[in-house]
Every structure is written in C-alpha cells, then in structure tokens.
Amino acid sequence: MTPLVSGEWLSGHLDEVRVVDTRWYLDGRSGRAAYAAGHIPGAVWVDIDTELSDPASEAAGRHPLPAPERFAAALEDAGIAEGTPVVAYDDAGGSIAARLWWLLHVLGEPVSVLDGGLASWPGELTTAIHEVTPVHRTPRSWPEHRFLTADQVADTTAVVLDARTAKRYAQGDPDIDPRPGHVPGAVSAPWADNLGSDNRFLPAVLLRKRFAALVDDRPVVAYCGSGVTACHDLLALALTGRDALALYPGSWSQWGADPSRPTATGPQSQ
C-alpha cells in the first residue's frame, strides 16, 4: 500500500481492501447522513468524534487521541483485522481521512487515502449499508514518539507546524478556537496548500519544494485545531520521504484553552 491511491486503482482492487468513509463536518452536518445518502460500494463509515477520538473536553481538546481499546473496538466493528489493507476517503481533500491514515500508519498497518476523495471515484455510489462481520483485534499501545503532549511540544526541538489556515494561525476564529493565535514558534503550514486545483495532492516534487521553504532537517510535529487536519500535513510530508514525524493530538483546542500556555498572534515572521 502506498499513502495515496487513485479512484481507478481502488475500482480495480475494491474486493481486496476495506474502504472506510470518514466524512465529518465542522459545521455540524452529519457524516453518517452523508454516508447514507451515497457512498462507495462496500464502504463502512467510521466516526471521527466517537471512534477515532476519545471524548472531547476542555482539558484534552476536541479530538483527543483515542485510547487503544477504543480504536481497536472501532476497527473490530468495521471488520478491519490486523494486516487488512484500508483505503480511507472523505469529501474534503483527504483532510479528514488523513486522521485514520495516521492512526493506522503509526501502527505499521497497510493504509492509503483516496486521492481526490469521493469525487475521484469513477463508479456509481450506493445507499446500501454494507454488512460487516466483526473481527477481533488486540489493542496496541500508541508509539510514544509519534504523539506529543502539550508539555512536550513546549520543550521540543522539532519544527512545529500549524496546519490551520493562515488567518486562524494569525488571529484565530472565535467560533472555533478557544482564543486567538498559535503556539509560539510554530510555522504556518495550511493543510489545503498540499493540494492542487484538482483537489488532489501535489506531486512529491512540489511538496518537497513547499516544505523545504517551511522546515529544515529536524523532526516535525504537526497540530491544527483539534488534531485531525494536522494529519494531512503529516501525510504530505510522508509523501516527500520524511519519517521523523509526530502529531500533537490536543492541538489548539487544548493549548488555547489552557490560560497558563503562552500564545503568539499575528502573521508568521521568519
């Protein structure tokens, strides 16, 4: 499995992989309803809020890293046994699907994101709910070097990337963010800039050029509003060949909610 697959590839290998619909919407629309209205044949829907995250809280953020037991249970219900190849998709340029990619990737599981998302699927959609036979999975601990706490981010020598929009990086969004600004020293790296006009990932050569202007040879830790779209930057970096990568799951929803944490505002200065 490569980090990205095309719709044509998926169409030819549909019976060899578990397809997972990860659609989720910040504006409150239902991803489950979107799935029910039409999805790739054989796909199962997995919920970012309850299956790919622990319960939200001010102390932990909006999408905390799921406990290994929670994540294993979600995979069991989706019929994903250890070693089962997975293709995740959404309708948002891979910005949601990348969360599942990252969680499986760090466990060494075969997983890809459908490049271009649902729009790149060349076949018909279905409203039939795919019946899944649950499987058994033993929960596996998360590799500690792949996930940083707020304290570790504060002390890290890695390059810290903020995957939110440049506007949110500079001043926040009062409807989403607990307060304005970003982690001091973080570099603005909006996830959407990983995509071309066709809503697919840029070629690796262009991604290397993009990140060469943002990061040096140090390890990278990415965050965003809640630890979801940051995984898009991590996927893009993986496409360039980088592997010293980590996620700050609490992201700004955790950092910004803690008044003891310092914050920086304004556009990036280099």
Residue 130 confidence class, pLDDT cut points 50, 70, 90: confident
Residue 270 confidence class, pLDDT cut points 50, 70, 90: very low
* Mean pLDDT, all residues of the chain: 97
Per residue in 195-223, pLDDT (tens digit) is 999 999 999 999 999 999 999 999 999 99
Catalytic site includes residue 231 = no
Per residue in 236-266, pLDDT (tens digit) is 999 999 999 999 999 999 999 999 999 999 9
This model's pTM is above 0.95:
yes
For domain 144-255, give the fold.
Answer: Oxidized Rhodanese; domain 1 (3.40.250)
Per residue in 64-109, pLDDT (tens digit) is 999 999 999 999 999 999 999 999 999 999 999 999 999 999 999 9
For residue 71, which amino acid is it?
Answer: F
What superfamily does domain 4-120 belong to in CATH? Rhodanese-like domain (3.40.250.10)
For the segment 144-151, the average pLDDT, to the nearest whole number, is 98
Rounded to the nearest 5°, which phi and psi values hold at 166?
-60, -35
Identified catalytic residue from 224, 228, 236, 237: 224
Torsion of CA 188, 190, 194, 197, to 10 degrees: -130
Domain boundaries, the chain: 4-120, 144-255
Rounded Cα distance between 52 and 196, Å, is 27
The reply to whether domains 4-120 and 144-255 share a CATH topology is yes
